[in-house]
Structure 1
Amino acid sequence: MSVQIETDQDRWDLRWAWALTLVLLGVDWIWAEQTGLVFVGWLRVACVPILLLAIGFLYGYSGRSRRLSDAGHYAALWLAFCAAGFVFTYVAATPAMPLRDAEFVAMDAAMGFHWLAWSRFVGAHPVIQLPLVVAYNTFLPQIVGSILYFAHTGQTGRNAEMIWLAMLGLIITTIVSAVLPAVGPYVHFYGRQTNDIVMLMSLRAGGAHPIALNTLTGIITFPSFHTVIAIIFIYVHRPPSHSFIPVAILNVLMLLSTPSEGHHYLIDLISGAVVAAICIAIVRGTMRPIKRVSETVARAA
């Protein structure tokens, strides 16, 4: 009976997560139409999630492998939501609200943090910078590794938590960044335009040239989504999961790397931690009641 309860809960989580993804895609489409933005390459992006979803259904409904079914379903959902989420960050930048870099620099200074000093310190010590660079770039590998690990070890509930936390985290982060946009300390202090900042400024200026989905990059400064996802990784790998210690160490390094390697203010990290805490509270408060209802229905049956 416990297996059936887990299956019902998982299906509930997946259905609602897909519904949210489709809603976000609808918001993207309407917003892009209103602002004149054109995104190309949808067919290429859709092929992989469709294939993974087919694998999930094949192995799930045939009963051949629950592990492969879970991995296929959650990997497909992650890819689909990432596409919708990245487009959402682009359309949300079009209102072109006033940049807040000066305020963020002042907040950092009030806390005794100076980005230029920290960045130069890290850059002058390769033995410190190398592990930070590596940790910062484990963002995508950790997503893939976590999906496979939780599917392989039968921790499907952790996969559900991770995708829901990431979805809420990206939506909240994007909305906040649209209201309080910034170009980041690297551009603010050095005046150098990176590719993502060029794109951000083009969006703010009303640029309507076609944007290829496979070229989308992160354009959010405040709050730091790297901070949000690092805390999410630590949370979903919490004990009794045996992966907790190595994942916690890796993501503490990711947090330390975010100011220098991700070009973020300290206030970006603090706000990202607040967003992560809010998302964890929401997911803990909603998923547990749903599970209790499923258990009650199963016992009554």
Structure 2
Amino acid sequence: MTSATSLFSPVEADLQVLTENLKNLIGARHPVLYAAAEHLFGAKGKRVRPAIVFLVSRATMLDQEITLRHRRLAEITEMIHTASLVHDDVVDESELRRGVPTVHSSFGNRIAVLAGDFLFAQSSWYLANLDNLEVVKLLSQVIMDLAEGEIQQGLNRFATSLSINEYLEKSYYKTASLLANSAKAAATLSETSTALADDLFHYGRHIGLAFQIIDDILDFTGSTEALGKPAGSDLKSGNLTAPVLYALEEKPYLEALIEREFAQPGDLEQALTLIRDSQGIERSRALATHHTRAAIEHLADLPPSESRQVLVKLADYVLSRLY
């Protein structure tokens, strides 16, 4: 299986500079916030979001070098993503993220909320300084979408009436919006045609949805070590994802277990068994495959280049995480 590190080798140097710059952008004026940020940016994440920004930037600039504004956009994208993770972990009371203690479990809720706020504020300030109104609008929309997604998830805990379309809408807000809008923003900075910028938006949208669906499948099929968090943790917290929603169509008793919020001993284990014995995981895999194929179709008008090739391979990489 291709690793994210080898897949992103064409932009590896860009990503290394990004990691150093992120720590410098936070600055050392607030020692605790700096420690929290260093803890986050030092974690071994895949850096998928800034990598896509760099790949789109290079694929749309072709023979020209990418600009400092492209680089800053990649940094802003990772700051927004990281800020959302910090707040998500507080809301979800998660102890681990990528196998590393979360900010709130290391520094306390108060510092975690402030660190997330600080990163959102910093990203907004650097965004404004790009002096490109279209890009400001695109990334500001992402911050609104992240909040909308978190609210939808909170309001729909243990809601067995949730539809697949509602699940995909929430997944767009929480995951795909950042990939879609940052890909379009990179194309906008490269001054591509509106049609190509829109295609790259849809590429990011479909890749983001596939990525979220795969994550949701792995919550049932992955190990705690591989996930960096306990398996089945989404279900336990009442976050009903594609495998659960499909399984509900086959296993009526699953609805009763969810609606009583796994209150009785063995409820959660029984629910996990019902989901694994259903077609839920298989149907979710087919849904993810549909979105990866749709993503590739939106690259049709992007000129041939090494970076374009990696954007295509990224779709296969997203699916390969299941195997």
Instruction: Give the shorter-chain TM-score range.
Output: under 0.3
How high is the TM-score relative to the length of structure 1? 0.28
How high is the TM-score relative to the length of structure 2? 0.27
Structure number with greater CO (CA < 8 Å, separation at least 6) is 1
